[in-house]
Structure 1
């Protein structure tokens, strides 16, 4: 790999941080306050903190154990569980990133709307108006041009944007620590006031489980350095960037949510409009706080859009090199960027923006689609390390890390519930058609072993209740 596309440790770490700190962090105070009391919040972060660190360390371990595998989340699944599961991991991750970055554009223009829209003149609305569609489309193609110019250049822009968006978050944490009152934090310790006639279950386990659904989204991006591993100046930097990035981001997430519930009562934060960080900061410092957080939100989501575009471009390219995506995604342009894969991703973003504009869907609908697709790819990473620890008779620490990451991923799948899993089935089915087409183009026919045939059969069987559930949701 030439110096044109090499990325250093600092830029890799910034990519990991920027990937995770997108839009979710600005809504965390309200999201968590609506889901749990202070006790469940502490337990939820304890489980999440341990689980996400084990998942991050799993990426670091695999980067060390398998330095020849480029692309991380896809190649680990393929090497461990075969072509079909590798494709499902790649397809699920690609859909997660692509639909997720559409959500970033939508929420960015919604943020602009909070500053310029009035009740009599709604220009950007919830990011789904004509003006938002035109503006988001322009940004998508500007980022296309930037990434096409070179991976290293795009990573450099992202590094600068990461510093810009992290500063206001640190300011919020400092002010919240100053305004924090322990009696306010402990006032709704058990979360009893969460109970409503529609949702009477406020048990501790239910509250903790509900926090898991939120953290599932805000931590996507943990794999950023692994996905771009072939562009790293040093393979050792991949593991370091992942662990450092996850640790710093986790610290900010925990501080923002816990301190906010000590500034204002839980119920008051839960009733806030998002981005709720703006409301909490406005309470502490006045109206300029809302403007600062809103501007920070827009910088944050746009820089995250850039970093996630890099990931979404890399995965189909690597899949094509291994015969699971069409061969047209293999060639690189003069700047060593997979142009076909980048174009495919940007055209998909453009199509999704068009659908958002025509259907009026908001960021929350896109978030549901994106999170449902990341469940299996993360599970396969922990499972791959666990498998290696047995097959290669590695040191016990690898078995522990792999087992812990796998258990955490299974817990997230359980917390997500059957609705998420069934919805993801519907999105995996079109991917099967692409996989079959790619197999014929690369190999002249389809190649499946007995295990893969069983997986495909299970997917077809699950499609029946998935379609029924989808139709039921449309009726509701």
Structure 2
């Protein structure tokens, strides 16, 4: 009897419209990050640096969005975007790194949402502190598992809720920008133009903002990850670009108008969410309450989108036999239940660890961004490889060849710059996850009765293990800090 005759029938997968797919992209990006932008930028740069940073980040991320758009059309059989492109271009072990790192970044990012919610409520409930007290962690854990049960009911129901929440959470952000414009102080804006005394050169200022721009743009690849739910393949690329342009306008506006409300040195000292502090300075205490409510709605919506995304990456990797097969099991509603459970468990572990962290939110934010850099870089390199080898470009016009070469090259240069901007410390710490996560790769190979590593994969693993050991030594010695 052949394998095909015994394979169980797969549950029908619910499809979603272009509007819903676009809302999932916006929902993925508009979350905790936008409410933290004023302080994070003010800690690094003034108006000139902020404008330059958004120009660089906007152009770079637009190229990356174009990369995902083109790959979705040229490689329609690759259903998990970020992970699938790394595997197709650079081998199974490299693809595993992309899947594992992207999955981990989603789980760590989810923890930042709960920390920020509890920190926001901590303004009125002191027992919640900065989101890392015992009570805050207990309430966050309850919310985490409540969302697990919600998503477990079905992808279509969760996606519909996310579309509603996306609309609801964008409104307070737009109101913030409008109110800040009404109280805009030209003198304060001019004083903040060059940056405060603690700001370095323009290059250093821009570099210092890059990780937070990566964090807030996470989700630009969301439509690619959810591609198997699209009604039409073309909707994947359209949703990616539509979602990106919408949030770029929102993020840049929130950052720039804040400089016209108060001195950047004061913004840099605000409690997170700093957008609440800026609006309170502009219109009074009710402004802080207004932003705080908007933040909670926004973060819960983003959390829902990222819960879906984390589980989807694990599920598709397991379905392609690049993760242990137990992660490929679906419920009768088409939900990858084991992948969803494993994602919730990792988030729970990280949530508990925040109790021992000095600054849980900022560290988790930076690590979330860093863990996505390698997957993004590999996707850009794969697009560049396709163009240089002309795979899938048979009969393409010269204009298409030229444009696609420019897009792929610029996206590769931008993501490589992000790796440089992240710094050695955070990159080394990321290997503390990659090294032990390789156990899942070895387990997968064992299920398939294959050698754990090929010679090239073993060499790569030894490099990863060496970097993880170096990170441990650095943390002990104090020259690697978190």
Give the TM-score normalised by the residue count of structure 1: 0.93
Deviation at 1:360, TM superposition (A): 7.2
User: In 2 relative to 1, CA 9–356 (structure 1 residues): closer, same or farther, beyond 3 Å?
Assistant: same
Counterpart selection for 1:407 from 384, 404, 413: 413
Deviation at 1:29, TM superposition (A): 1.0
**Deviation sequence 1:344-367 (CA, Å, 0-9, x none):** 111222222233346676222322
Deviation at 1:286, TM superposition (A): 1.6
**Does the CA-based 8 Å contact 1:128-1:360 persist in structure 2?**
no
**Deviation sequence 1:14-39 (CA, Å, 0-9, x none):** 11111111111111111111101222
What corresponds to 2:194 in structure 1?
190
What corresponds to 1:365 in structure 2?
363
What corresponds to 2:376 in structure 1?
378
**Deviation sequence 1:280-321 (CA, Å, 0-9, x none):** 211222211100111111111111111100011111111112
Deviation at 1:246, TM superposition (A): 0.7
User: In 2 relative to 1, CA 312–475 (structure 1 residues): closer, same or farther, beyond 3 Å?
Assistant: closer
The whole-number CA distance in structure 2 between the counterparts of 1:397 and 1:135 is: 50
**Does the CA-based 8 Å contact 1:110-1:124 persist in structure 2?**
yes
The reply on whether 1:134 has 2:143 as its aligned counterpart is no
Q: How many pairs does the alignment contain?
A: 464
Aligned pairs (5 A) from 1:100-139? 100-114=109-123, 116-117=124-125, 122-139=126-143
The whole-number CA distance in structure 1 between the counterparts of 2:58 and 2:359 is: 32
Aligned pairs (5 A) from 1:147-162? 147-162=151-166
Deviation at 1:460, TM superposition (A): 2.7
User: In 2 relative to 1, CA 78–461 (structure 1 residues): closer, same or farther, beyond 3 Å?
Assistant: same
**Does the CA-based 8 Å contact 1:92-1:374 persist in structure 2?**
yes
**Does the CA-based 8 Å contact 2:180-2:258 persist in structure 1?**
yes
The reply on whether 1:29 has 2:33 as its aligned counterpart is no
What corresponds to 1:467 in structure 2?
472
Q: Secondary structure at the match of 1:194?
A: coil
Deviation at 1:217, TM superposition (A): 1.4
What corresponds to 1:433 in structure 2?
439
Q: Secondary structure at the match of 2:44?
A: coil
What corresponds to 2:3 in structure 1?
none
Counterpart selection for 1:453 from 455, 458, 461: 458
User: In 2 relative to 1, CA 443–247 (structure 1 residues): closer, same or farther, beyond 3 Å?
Assistant: farther
The whole-number CA distance in structure 2 between the counterparts of 1:474 and 1:343 is: 36
Deviation at 1:474, TM superposition (A): 9.3
Aligned pairs (5 A) from 1:35-50? 35-50=44-59
Structure 2: any 5+ residue segments left out of the alignment? 1-9, 394-400
Deviation at 1:455, TM superposition (A): 2.0
What corresponds to 1:327 in structure 2?
325
What corresponds to 2:230 in structure 1?
232
The whole-number CA distance in structure 2 between the counterparts of 1:43 and 1:438 is: 45
The whole-number CA distance in structure 1 between the counterparts of 2:356 and 2:270 is: 28
The whole-number CA distance in structure 2 between the counterparts of 1:137 and 1:361 is: 19
The whole-number CA distance in structure 2 between the counterparts of 1:54 and 1:162 is: 24
Counterpart selection for 2:176 from 172, 176, 192: 172
Q: Secondary structure at the match of 1:336?
A: coil
**Does the CA-based 8 Å contact 2:212-2:365 persist in structure 1?**
no
Deviation at 1:130, TM superposition (A): 2.6
Deviation at 1:220, TM superposition (A): 1.2
**Does the CA-based 8 Å contact 2:31-2:298 persist in structure 1?**
yes
**Deviation sequence 1:187-225 (CA, Å, 0-9, x none):** 232225225xxxxxx111111111112212111111111
What corresponds to 1:91 in structure 2?
100
Counterpart selection for 2:207 from 201, 205, 209: 209
Counterpart selection for 1:349 from 347, 350, 360: 347
What corresponds to 2:264 in structure 1?
266
Give the TM-score normalised by the residue count of structure 2: 0.92
Deviation at 1:423, TM superposition (A): 0.9
The whole-number CA distance in structure 2 between the counterparts of 1:360 and 1:413 is: 24
Deviation at 1:230, TM superposition (A): 0.4
